[in-house]
Structure 1
Amino acid sequence: MLFNSYEFLFAFLPLTLGGFFALSALSWHRAAASLLALASLFFYGYWAPQYLLLLLGSIAVNFLTGKAITREALSGQDKQASRLLFAAVTLNLLVLAYYKYANFFLDTARALSSWNAPMLDVVLPIGISFFTFTQIAFLVDCREGKVKEQDAINYVLFVSYFPHLIAGPVLHHAEMMPQFARRETYRFVPENFVIGMAFFVVGLFKKVVLADGIQPYVGPVFDGGGSPHFFAAWGGALAYTLQLYFDFSAYSDMAVGLSKMFNVDLPLNFNSPYKARNISDFWRRWHMTLSRFLREYLYIQMGGNRQGPFRRYVNLLVTMLLGGLWHGAGWTFVIWGGLHGIYLVINHAWVALRERGVLQFPSMGMIGSVAACLLTFLSVVVAWVFFRATSLNAALNVLSGMFGMNDILFPAIPGLDIAHWIGLQVNANMEIDWRQIGWIVTLLSFAWFLPNSQQIVWRWVSGGGIANKLRIRWIFTGASLSLLLLLAVINDSRGVSEFIYFNF
């Protein structure tokens, strides 16, 4: 079920909200939590009922194992707790490897040897990467004695909670399970509902109008199979860069908004990443909860920066390579992760050299900030080519065009002969797609110069006196419901599209 589908907007969501708060009003908090858990499981099973058993099995095994690990750790049986943790993490990774990476490994083995291994008929269960990583973090925290609550219903909710289950954020038990145990969660709070509606409608607008609006300019470049020229390659790469930005931002906003309607705060997962001035800042803003997971449960566990610069850079590279593989079973994703690992190594080395005084540059103020932002952005765009391409050859074809290796031909523009001024060839038959340029310029302006969703919503919430705020909120609620209906109609007329991160 998709957040932008009629079934979700006009059936699942109102029925779930109504049932949850009806039971809460009767002080049946346990029943309300159970209803929300069942609704979340139904939400997942609506896509493919057979994989609901996989999710339930994963939840049951990890919950019971987590309790056993905690019991052994608290009784001083550290070796037994560590063995249980190792076995549970291995089992989780084996299940993930089978469903997500089995054919990738077989295909790689076929390419490197004469083994004619048959490909497996495996369908990737939606959201498996998210609920697997979420539970691995839970198990590790059980071993370290950080888990304070182990309630079965709250754990089911923590893992399967429908606003985050399909595409994140990657949740931490300590920030979620206590919220399901609070009495305050089980009462209708108009302010939270309106804030949630604001986030949800902003996210729906980003998805239906912005991300889906620029999407038609992506496929012809990445899926066409040819060698795009300079302008076509950059047009397609920038279109995908912006489609992915607004698509993932949309899902993140909608997840936060939906959860807020139930008085549950999800961690923010997206914070204007294209405004970043270096690649480290980018990863503090893009998929923030995944970055946190990779840092805490992989990078730091491997030693982080505690064993010297060389080991630190190796840890960064390994972390990002595995982060790339987490996103998809293909060498293009591995290369994407490797590029970001190299970017991070360069960034950290640059900072270290400046701190030691080896590199000294005068402050360039605003010009320097803009240049740093552009350099970071262009580096990210180049890496996104591998993220989107269906094969390594397709990625190299697009990059060849972007770097001018497939000819740089200028269109003929009446009264403006740019190519003549710089001595390059003009293609009189080449037409400019002004609509594509308009989309790219508009969405870049939104990403670079406008406040993001949380800034817009919190400014609105905190402004004015109490009476004025109430009046504005109820006006906004009516406007939001009207806009929600309009966006739903537009979305349905185009055909309901999946979010990009559903594939990961």
Structure 2
Amino acid sequence: MGFQSLSFLLLLALTAVLCPLAAKKSRPAGIALFTFFSVIFYLWGLGIHAMLGLAVLALGSLVTFAAARTSLSGPEKPKKRVLLTAAAWHIAVLLGFKYLGFFTGGAVSLGWAPLGLSFFTFQQLWFLKEVGTRQFSLSEPARLRGDEFALFSLFFPTVSSGPILRPDGFFPQLRSENFLRPDWDDRAAGLYAFSLGMAKKVLLADSLGAVVNGGYAHLDGLTAHGAWLVILGYTLQLYFDFSGYCDIATGATRLLGLRLPINFDSPYRSLSVGEFWKRWHITLTTFLRECLYFPLGGSRRGEMRTYGNILLVFLVSGFWHGAGWTFLFWGLLHGLAQVAERAAGVRLTRLPKTLRWAGTFLFVNLAWVFFRAPSLAAAASLLRSAFSGGAGIPAFLTENLLPSETTALSALGLGPSAGNLLLAAVFFIALLAALKPGNTVRRMDTFRPTGLRCAVCCILLAWAALSFSGVTTFIYANF
């Protein structure tokens, strides 16, 4: 089930009404009903592959849960061996479903992967790591409950595209007084984030996606101006698509008396690539730092070893996003950029902030080309057009941009200029929203409903809902 659907709005409404009622009778009843709705979310409309995918996730959850219970009640050596075996299971399943075709050159491939498998795998690995290091505060065997762990694994606001849940940030909330007992501030803040996230996804991300898809469908016909619109368009599309998802998930979670970690913090305002990764997909960055970079030795074993660790982490990050050379090259670019920044040291910070921001933003834009392009050849073609193409904006870039709104403007007598006006408006609003300081999660803590704010939220949500029919799936659901 996608967030951008009327069926999800109904599911969320039922969850927000029925789960608190069940929790009044007993907390386990509330957890059980919440898990039931999470299963419905996962299975809805996806057919046999959804059932098989749910079975894969359920089996993986049992492996993690059994390993945690066994390791916590056993001696030191069996504990490590059991946890490592469970971690190897999850890595093998991820590699089998997502990367078998890549490693065999396409000779052997399963052809599908369970929804959210990449996020699920990292979340299970994080749980195993925190149990093994005793960072998880509820690690006593008697307090590690199966119903709570099932909800952790299938939690519907995050199961398909994150954020990646940290165990020590999730389980204590299930035992707090606020669980399934949201107050009016929670409800108001939740609806605010939910409507803002829907607007980001439906009105901005998908509108920008129409421009980007048009450009990649006509690479040979792109001018320099058109190529830069496609490059910038994808930079903004990816941000609003994924941050929009996180805002929807955060708002839905807040309506149920829970809170999610911050996953975006105005990343396109960063003054360096290192800072960018402290603001972009924060839960993934934290996972890779704590579960891969630090165990490899971090920066404690000399300069060259540090550079090697950085490159390895970003190659893993690229490969996690997709089994393709374009993703690996994207990860390598970001790894090399961080190595270069680390080598430059304080000399980089002496540059004017405007220059540092412009350099970082340009690099991120160009690197996203390899993230989006279907092949290295396609990426090279787009970049070639950007730096050596002609002038003008090709008409095919606006062919599918907000069709209903374009028709309405044309009816007012604007004619052929309607598409270009909407193109300029979408890019202006998107840039303004992306570069504005602050983030939705922090604004939720200070959000106070007023008549104007409620009206704006209702208009955004209604506008987004009316546009559901043309909405594409979330980009990160493919990873």
| Equivalent residues of 1:70, 1:145 under 8 A apart | no
Match of 1:350 in 2: 344
1:124 to 1:290, Cα distance in 2 relative to 1, 3 A: same
Match of 2:88 in 1: 90
Match of 2:360 in 1: 376
1:33 to 1:491, Cα distance in 2 relative to 1, 3 A: same
Match of 1:7 in 2: 7
Match of 1:135 in 2: 124
Partners of 2:353 and 2:334 in 1: CA distance: 21
1:216 to 1:158, Cα distance in 2 relative to 1, 3 A: same
Could you tell me the TM-score, scaled by structure 1's length?
Answer: 0.84
| Equivalent residues of 1:223, 1:390 under 8 A apart | no
Offset at 1:459? 4.2
Partners of 1:103 and 1:53 in 2: CA distance: 22
Q: Specify the code of the residue in structure 2 equivalent to 1:460.
A: F
Offset at 1:475? 7.1
Q: Specify the code of the residue in structure 1 equivalent to 2:372.
A: R
Q: Specify the code of the residue in structure 1 equivalent to 2:472.
A: S
Partner SS for 1:57? helix
| Equivalent residues of 1:196, 1:260 under 8 A apart | yes
Partners of 1:171 and 1:454 in 2: CA distance: 15
| Equivalent residues of 2:71, 2:79 under 8 A apart | yes
1:234 to 1:478, Cα distance in 2 relative to 1, 3 A: closer
Match of 1:22 in 2: 21
Q: Specify the code of the residue in structure 1 equivalent to 2:80.
A: S
Partners of 1:257 and 1:222 in 2: CA distance: 33
Q: Which of 231, 235, 249 does residue 255 from structure 1 map onto?
A: 249
Q: Summarize deviations over 1:242-289 as a string: whole Å, max 9, x none.
A: 111111110111111111111111101011100001111100100000
1:322 aligned onto 2:301: no
Match of 2:473 in 1: 498
1:160 to 1:273, Cα distance in 2 relative to 1, 3 A: same
| Equivalent residues of 1:222, 1:388 under 8 A apart | no
Match of 2:430 in 1: 443
Match of 1:290 in 2: 284
Match of 1:300 in 2: 294
- Counterparts of residues 51-130 of structure 1 (less than 5 Å): 51-72=53-74, 77-107=75-105, 118-130=107-119
Q: Which of 473, 485, 499 does residue 462 from structure 2 map onto?
A: 485
Could you tell me the TM-score, scaled by structure 2's length?
Answer: 0.88
| Equivalent residues of 1:154, 1:181 under 8 A apart | no
Q: Summarize deviations over 1:6-41 as a string: whole Å, max 9, x none.
A: 1011x2111111111111233x21100111011112
Offset at 1:131? 0.7
1:411 to 1:284, Cα distance in 2 relative to 1, 3 A: closer
Offset at 1:433? 4.7
1:282 to 1:360, Cα distance in 2 relative to 1, 3 A: closer
Partners of 1:496 and 1:243 in 2: CA distance: 13
Match of 1:112 in 2: none
1:397 aligned onto 2:381: yes
Partners of 1:450 and 1:145 in 2: CA distance: 36
Task: Determine what percentage of the aligned residue pairs are the same residue.
Answer: 34
Match of 1:466 in 2: none
Offset at 1:435? 4.2
Partner SS for 1:345? helix
| Equivalent residues of 1:273, 1:282 under 8 A apart | yes
Match of 2:30 in 1: 32
| Equivalent residues of 2:200, 2:240 under 8 A apart | yes
Partner SS for 1:164? coil
| Equivalent residues of 1:304, 1:315 under 8 A apart | yes
Partners of 2:382 and 2:420 in 1: CA distance: 18
Unmatched tracts of structure 2, length 5 or more: 139-143, 395-418
Partners of 1:460 and 1:360 in 2: CA distance: 37
Q: Specify the code of the residue in structure 2 equivalent to 1:33.
A: I
Unmatched tracts of structure 1, length 5 or more: 108-116, 413-431, 462-471
| Equivalent residues of 1:316, 1:344 under 8 A apart | yes
| Equivalent residues of 1:197, 1:477 under 8 A apart | no
Q: Summarize deviations over 1:333-379 as a string: whole Å, max 9, x none.
A: 0000000001111111112xx3xxxx498x56xxx112111110100
1:448 to 1:31, Cα distance in 2 relative to 1, 3 A: same
| Equivalent residues of 1:259, 1:265 under 8 A apart | yes
Offset at 1:396? 1.1
Q: Specify the code of the residue in structure 1 equivalent to 2:119.
A: F
1:144 to 1:398, Cα distance in 2 relative to 1, 3 A: same
Q: Specify the code of the residue in structure 1 equivalent to 2:63.
A: V
- Counterparts of residues 407-446 of structure 1 (less than 5 Å): 407-409=389-391, 433=420, 435-446=422-433
Partners of 1:360 and 1:92 in 2: CA distance: 40
Offset at 1:42? 1.7
Partners of 1:16 and 1:185 in 2: CA distance: 13
Partners of 2:122 and 2:338 in 1: CA distance: 23
Q: Specify the code of the residue in structure 1 equivalent to 2:463.
A: L
Partner SS for 2:179? helix
C-alpha RMSD of the superposition: 2.2
Q: Summarize deviations over 1:37-84 as a string: whole Å, max 9, x none.
A: 111122112232221111111111111111112222xxxx32222221
